[in-house]
A and B are shown apart, each in its own frame.
Chain A
């Protein structure tokens, strides 16, 4: 469930982009439609990801609400239909509840569980200090401004937590956890045109970005982030993202 919403914009048609069953440039492409060609072990793992969202057990109610608002800005899904929203917070919560590690901890970082609790509290207190409201109650724009200050490693306002926990490392861990949950989901694979699981069938068209018979060519469209968003890509001057999406 997302918190506040802020919609990207289709400047050609002059309308907000929302309630999409499948954002991205591969309309009609579905990895799950290929599941008969997957091995059983893979099918089980991917289907479980889609069908079973783990309960929130690590964060308390208040922390979970703040985290949800943070996650909604780090990987915004406002363009997605409500029933096609990819669960991110439950995946992070489960990792922390089970204390599932990634094999290391930086010597200047607290253990992952503690880092999250301290970070979430700091973000909420920063919102209170800067806007006089909790992070959840801040506007989407305010939430983005605050998070961007963490990304830029210049917390605004500063908070004592960042004296003992490097803000850059916390940002990386938090954002890595978010993108891991999102881009591990087959709906995200459909969005970006990734072919997904492919054993035992494999691929046959390896060169020139050509699609398999069951894949789709790209159908690009222009879209703009919400007008007041500060989370767009920062491209060098004279760079744009243009594309020839195949269709040879």
Chain B
């Protein structure tokens, strides 16, 4: 008999061991017109829902997956966590096809932030001007300084634990103390130090190093990618959604959006969806924000094609679905004579961004980061299939040595290319909707970058004293597919996420990123969502009635008074 049975059986909707949803969720009527319908309650959708609800708007979030009760639904077990991922069919192809599913796609309230490792580095100032500086990729229609207040705001709201001094990009510090080191962090710091490469450890990660409001601190069990049952790792499910519900937002979970519905005056009328029983409904909304991430967002807009929008909504430029990006995510594994036991402590802990910026001597544009990862046994056995060619008795033998291995992930910037894209496939999903087809090809700069980054990361593992170093090529994260830009002919949305084509249709998620740097995108996605929310709040009713494109494009005033409870403190250490 387990000790913790009674806490699970009290019927509450639990989000971690201390937090629960105490108020009944608002339910808007079937015919009621809401202000905003947000499609996808993930990293961006969760923040938008919370901000707009606090500001007094009527908001409904549609989520294809379940509204997790973490004590009931989540487990400390790799295979038992299968349902956290977007497992529905997608077709993947091209010369360098991307693995999808558990690799990069979440399903359920909280979306990908439920199973992210929670590394939260900011993008560097140079990420916002890649085309100007390097003549490749694209510039952002905004500067680092425009996003900085939102980086600081979200670092407090998640909140982020990390070192007092983070030396790369715009140097800064973190409010919450860094985490203790696990075995893999020791290896990374040792190897980098040997080679004179700067590292930080203990973060930046959106994992609590001390208790905070109604959330406890980390217990170092290592199952971050399986959903943090301890409630220490931030996901919008536990950081923003409870506040959104308290302030009157409604989430319709297990509801799959099938189409954004157009009115005949060129504005959207709402979103059609299929509920958990297979019944079709429409949410009538004065504006719609699509936040379905880099694959489902373009797919939904393409599946919404109608007269006047034959190639899909917001696609007059033909760029919808294009410029899809994943980061190179090669896993480098090293075996040590001593035990490491990499399953303890969060996989995301230490990193180096020493190679982040363009170095002309290397012969390619942009760069990469080196980070700790720590695959659990099933994931590690899968790595060994490719990295070691292991099978049969060899697989048994290498896995008996599981506790002797450490693993790093490189995170390499792959540039945005028009031929890397999301389209509709002929195959259909369980709702009868055409599924996404994803095409991915590495280009010359990408290949050179990966080769250099792979060798450098292996060198670090070697320098740490590994007696055997192997690697597997793979990819991490997904962004792009509906990029933002000033020019409506070459981008899908403006710098606040408003589609160039349809004045009351917005996109706000990873798909709007023009480039991706070599930082994990989660923090940037949430910061962009908070900034878009401030913009929408400032514009107020104007969003619902204005058709013109000459809108106020000034940066909004940052609303520090809309943060979820317990997070309204001041002070991100700034390094000057």
Interface residues of A (CB under 8 A from B): 8, 23-25, 35-43, 45-46, 49, 73-76, 100-108, 144, 147-148, 151, 172, 175-176, 179-180, 182-184, 188-189, 191-211, 218, 225-226, 229-236, 239, 241-246
Contact = CB atoms under 8 A, between A and B. Distances in A.
Count chain A CB atoms within 10 A of each CB in B3, B340, B403 and give the residue with the most.
B403
Given A40-B2, A75-B396, A206-B220, A239 B468 contact: yes
B2 A36 contact: yes
B338 A208 contact: yes
B265 to A, nearest CB: 38
Nearest to B221: A198
A235 B183 contact: no
Contact-residue size bin, chain B (C-beta under 8 Å from the other chain): 35 or more
B390 A197 contact: no
Given A41-B73, A179-B378, A200-B4, A108 B219 contact: no
A103 B400 contact: no
B392 A42 contact: no
Contact of A231 (B221, B229, B381, B394): B394
Contacts of B75: 39, 41-42, 45, 197
B142 interface: no
A115 B396 CA distance: 26
Contacts of A231: 391-395
B437 interface: yes
B377 to A, nearest CB: 4
A199 to B, nearest CB: 5
Given A74-B391, A242-B337, A192 B220 contact: no
B183 A39 contact: no
Given A147-B391, A206-B180, A211-B341, 5 more contacts: A107-B91, A147-B392, A179-B385, A194-B343, A198-B219
B1 A36 contact: yes
A201 B4 contact: no
A42 B400 contact: no
B17 A184 contact: no
Count chain A CB atoms within 10 A of each CB in B5, B80, B388 and give the residue with the most.
B80
Interface string B169-180: 000000000001
Nearest to B406: A209
8 contacts: A105-B89, A179-B399, A183-B380, A194-B376, A196-B76, A198-B76, A202-B230, A209-B339
Contacts of A202: 218-221, 230
B194 interface: no
A209 B8 CA distance: 33
Interface in B413-444: 437-438
A206 B344 contact: yes
Contacts of B401: 192, 241, 243
A107 B396 contact: no
Interface in B345-396: 345, 376-378, 380-382, 385-386, 388-396
B78 interface: yes
B77 A179 contact: no
Contacts of B467: 239, 242
Contact of B87 (A102, A108, A201, A207): A102
B381 A183 contact: yes
Contacts of B376: 194
A199 B182 contact: no
A108 to B, nearest CB: 7
A243 B183 contact: no
Interface in B59-93: 71-80, 82, 85-93
Interface stretch (B21-29, B99-107, B494-502): B99-107
Contacts of A244: 337-339
Interface string B454-468: 000000000000011
A188 B402 CA distance: 11
A239 B401 CA distance: 14
Contact of B392 (A43, A74, A183, A189): A74
A198 B223 CA distance: 9
A42 B395 contact: no
Given A75-B396, A202-B220, A202-B221, A176 B338 contact: no
B186 A179 contact: no
A206 B77 CA distance: 19
Contacts of B90: 103-105
A25 B388 CA distance: 21
A43 B99 CA distance: 30
A104 B97 CA distance: 11
A82 B464 CA distance: 41
A105 B381 contact: no
Contact of B97 (A37, A74, A75, A106): A106
Contact of B400 (A49, A73, A179, A191): A191
